[in-house]
Amino acid sequence: MSVALSPDGNRIASGSFDKTIKVWDAATGRELRTLAGHSDLVMSVAFSLDGRRIASGSHDQTVRIWDSETGEPLKIFRVDDQKIIAVAYSPDGRRLAVAAARKDQKSWMQIPGRDHSHPRSGWNQSLITSLAFSPDGKRLASGAYDQMVRIWDAATGRELTTLVGHSSEVWSVAFSPDGMRILSSALAPDATIKIWDAGIDRKGTILSGHENRVRHVAFSPTGGRSSLPAWTILSRYGTYRRPGKSEPSAATSARSGK
């Protein structure tokens, strides 16, 4: 259901239908440990900036904080009658944004203050599927069932801008390491990835080629190439290609490298 790369790029955390979180060696694919405790599917996982903690959100109405090295549970937060859909650590590791959903599919989003004593929260008319902080921690991006990407002020919870362009539910959002761009992906039949200038570009550049839903997108921590198949962003408004392709293809017609 969800994956997260550790800040040093050495480990991957995955949340699953089997109600567990697994931590993997990113280089070898070897399973390092299993974090068990949730009683329903795990919708979202996130590493803290120092990589020492993993946050997980589940349909069991809890957010859990784990020691990523030992797998020991550190804290449990319960939200009654609301399924947890998404969690995101702030870059300083002192805040954890949480999105939850009621039975009527309206989403609740909370962005705790830096001292955890003055949370900012509010209801969104459409179910929020994903959250991502900007690298400076000042903005929070969200994707939702209403096909929109929204940018929020992380200090006040005020909506700053709305990015419109997907034609299906937005399932994943991510900020680039420099905070200048946002990636978003959508379910089928849209099944595209869009690159936006954060808060400016209202149209977005399209990366197409997937034939089914795109559940997760991410920038590499350094912005460089990975050994895993990925889109390579060559320029702001230029062309985009997959690693290993000799000729780059236009952003509007790039394929998924099958």
pLDDT digits (tens, 9 = 90+) for 9-61: 899 999 999 999 999 999 999 999 999 999 999 999 999 989 999 999 999 99
Is the pLDDT assigned to residue 163 strictly greater than 50? yes
For tokens 């990636």, what's the residue?
Answer: 183
Q: Taking the chain, what is the end-to-end CA distance rounded to the nearest angstrom?
A: 22
| β-pair partners for 52 | none
Give the distance from CA 190 to its chain's centroid: 18
Is the pLDDT assigned to residue 191 strictly greater than 90? no
On whether the CB atoms of residues 55 and 65 are closer than 8 A, the answer is yes
Q: Give the chain's largest Cα–Cα span.
A: 53
Residue type, 157: G
Average pLDDT over residues 92-116: 70
Average pLDDT over residues 127-136: 90
Q: Using alpha carbons, select from 96, 187, 170 the residue that is nearest to residue 133.
A: 96
pTM above 0.85, yes or no: no
Is the pLDDT assigned to residue 243 strictly greater than 50? no
According to the model, what pLDDT value does residue 235 have?
Answer: 33
Average pLDDT over residues 190-207: 71
56 vs 102: CA distance, rounded Å? 18
- Return the DSSP state at 157: -
Phi-psi region of 216 (alpha: psi -120 to 50; beta: other; left: phi over 0): beta
According to the model, what pLDDT value does residue 167 have?
Answer: 79
Task: Determine the Cα angle at 86 with ends 84 and 87, to 5°.
Answer: 105
The whole-chain average pLDDT of the chain stands at 76
How many CA atoms lie less than 13 Å away from 195 in the CB half-sphere?
A: 22
According to the model, what pLDDT value does residue 178 have?
Answer: 86
Residue 257 burial (CB count, 10 A): 14
Angstrom distances, CA of residue 196 to CA of 94, 152, 239: 27, 15, 14
According to the model, what pLDDT value does residue 224 have?
Answer: 46
Is the pLDDT assigned to residue 115 strictly greater than 50? no
Is the pLDDT assigned to residue 232 strictly greater than 50? no
Looking at per-residue confidence, does 54 or 1 come out higher?
A: 54
According to the model, what pLDDT value does residue 54 have?
Answer: 96
According to the model, what pLDDT value does residue 258 have?
Answer: 35
Task: Determine the Cα angle at 189 with ends 188 and 190, to 5°.
Answer: 85
